[in-house]
Amino acid sequence: MKKLLGIVVLGLLSVSCSEKVEKYFANCVKDGKKYVNYPEAFALKMCKYHKQHHLDEFKYYKGRVFSRNNNPLTKEEIDRAWDKLTK
């Protein structure tokens, strides 16, 4: 019975964690469209890249990586990210 309870608890925890990441990803796309004026397709690519390579920062800012500290990305940061993405 304890094993079954443990499995149920672990299942609930894993579901809640994946929902947070999905919500953070949606936050990231909205943030990219609002602060950097990216088209949605490009914002998706940038968020995917940021999530894969900077997961701790992505989780810390709850996906709002473009407006972190209310400072949008600089032109140089945008160009550098574009270069990395198109390689």
pTM to 2 decimal places: 0.59
Q: Which residues, 6 or more positions from 51, have their beta carbon under 8 angstroms from its beta carbon?
A: 21, 24, 25, 28, 58
Render each residue's pLDDT in the chain as its tens digit; 87 residues: 666 656 655 555 555 556 777 888 888 888 888 888 888 888 888 888 888 888 888 888 888 888 876 666 677 877 887 788 777
